[in-house]
């Protein structure tokens, strides 16, 4: 029992220290870069608790990229962001008053949208999709597609090197049907869920570009949605 009390107190102390390390000087350093809004600054220090033999949990790599974020309706430009796909956490990077790099886990609920690199994300409003942020393509009154991203963590022995680590990027594709996201894994399935006047158009387009639907990336998915919304059957 005494050990449990000691461990609990130690955990509380550690959590408090994470927040206590964010000093007034840190706030001043932050304000000079991103504007005077401590709301965006709220969060806890990020830590990757997995010691991995390979891979990383991020959308791209370990380096934060310049991006834009809309937080409680306020837009911040040229902020350093990263996206942990295993934990589904959005990270804000900055240098504190002594020049050390700090990464904060941002509270996801106040984030309306963000872009990291060239990839735009918006807040997920579909409870069926168990991620906080999605990419939404297409027209509101037309064909709309969704992309979500994940990474797994586990034991891998398929690449010639065995050990624990993160998987490759997992992109999941969805088609909105009557406002409900349907997971799409195959070309035929995607075509079957399309409106009747879009099915032949989609077949002709995919035949022309010769993409593998299974391996389709987000740019190709966006282009497909745009084409289906702006083109007519000949």
pLDDT digits (tens, 9 = 90+) for 48-86: 666 667 888 999 988 888 999 998 888 888 888 999 999
Please report the pLDDT score of residue 39 as a whole number: 58
Closest of 123, 33, 31, 122 to residue 79, by C-alpha: 33
Longest distance between any two alpha carbons in the chain, whole Å: 78
CA 234, CA 231: separation in Å to the nearest integer? 9
Q: Residue 195's pLDDT band (boundaries 50, 70, 90)?
A: very high
Distance between CA atoms of residues 38 and 50, nearest Å: 30
pLDDT at 23 over 90: no
pLDDT surpasses 70 at 158: no
CA angle in degrees (0–180, nearest 5) for 99-67-48: 60
pLDDT at 51: 65
pLDDT value at position 17? 34
d(CA 97, CA 23): 9
The pTM of the full predicted model, rounded to 2 decimals, is 0.78
Query: Nearest CA to 91 among 40, 142, 163, 27?
Result: 40
Any residues with CB less than 8 A from the CB of 137 and at least 6 apart, and which? 144, 145, 146, 147, 218, 221, 222, 225, 226
Distances (CA, A) of 170 to 59, 91, 152, 157, 182: 10, 19, 8, 18, 17
- Given a cut of 80, whether residue 93 has pLDDT beyond it is yes
């Amino acid at each position: 029992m005494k050990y449990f009390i000691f461990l609990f107190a130690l955990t509380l102390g550690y959590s408090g220290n994470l927040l206590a390390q964010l000093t007034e000087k840190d706030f001043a350093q932050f304000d000079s870069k991103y504007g005077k809004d401590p709301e965006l600054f709220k969060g806890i220090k990020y830590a990757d608790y997995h010691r991995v033999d390979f891979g990383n949990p991020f959308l791209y790599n370990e380096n934060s990229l310049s991006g834009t974020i809309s937080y409680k309706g306020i837009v911040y430009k040229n902020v350093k962001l990263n996206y942990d796909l295993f934990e589904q956490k959005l990270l804000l990077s900055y240098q504190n008053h002594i020049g050390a790099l700090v990464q904060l886990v941002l509270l996801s609920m106040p984030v309306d949208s963000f872009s990291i690199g060239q990839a735009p994300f918006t807040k997920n409003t579909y409870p069926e999709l168990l991620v906080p942020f999605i990419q939404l393509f297409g027209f509101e009154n037309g064909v709309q597609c969704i992309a979500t991203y994940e990474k797994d963590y586990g034991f891998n022995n398929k690449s010639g090197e065995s050990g624990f680590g993160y998987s490759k990027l997992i992109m999941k594709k969805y088609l909105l049907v009557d406002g409900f996201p349907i997971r799409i894994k195959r070309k035929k399935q995607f075509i079957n869920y399309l409106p009747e006047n879009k099915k032949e158009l989609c077949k002709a387009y995919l035949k022309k570009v010769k993409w593998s639907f299974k391996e389709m990336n987000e740019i190709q998915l966006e282009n497909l949605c745009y084409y289906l919304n702006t083109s007519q059957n000949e």
